[in-house]
Chain A
Amino acid sequence: GAVVSQHPSRVICKSGTSVKIECRSLDFQATTMFWYRQFPKQSLMLMATSNEGSKATYEQGVEKDKFLINHASLTLSTLTVTSAHPEDSSFYICSARGTGTNTEAFFGQGTRLTVV
Chain B
Amino acid sequence: GQQVMQIPQYQHVQEGEDFTTYCNSSTTLSNIQWYKQRPGGHPVFLIQLVKSGEVKKQKRLTFQFGEAKKNSSLHITATQTTDVGTYFCEWGNTGKLIFGQGTTLQVKP
* Residues of chain A at the chain B interface (Cβ within 8 Å): 1, 32, 34, 36, 41-44, 46, 49, 93, 95, 97, 102-110
Contact = CB atoms under 8 A, between A and B. Distances in A.
Contacts of B101: 42-43
A42 B13 CA distance: 20
Contact of B96 (A46, A103, A104, A110): A46
A88 B44 CA distance: 25
A44 B50 CA distance: 22
Contacts of B95: 32, 49
B68 interface: no
Interface of B: 30-31, 33, 35, 41-45, 48, 50, 88, 90, 92, 95-102, 104
6 contacts: A1-B45, A34-B96, A43-B100, A44-B43, A93-B43, A105-B33
Contacts of A110: 41-42
A44 B45 contact: no
B33 A46 contact: no
A102 B31 contact: yes
A103 B92 CA distance: 9
Contacts of A105: 33, 35, 43, 45, 90, 97
B42 A93 contact: yes
B104 A41 contact: yes
A107 B33 contact: no
Nearest to B34: A104
Given A32-B95, A97-B97, A102-B30, A107 B104 contact: no
B104 to A, nearest CB: 7
Given A41-B104, A43-B88, A102-B50, A107 B43 contact: yes
A41 B97 CA distance: 19
A106 to B, nearest CB: 7
Contacts of B43: 44, 93, 95, 105, 107
B45 A102 contact: no
A104 B48 contact: yes
Nearest to A103: B48
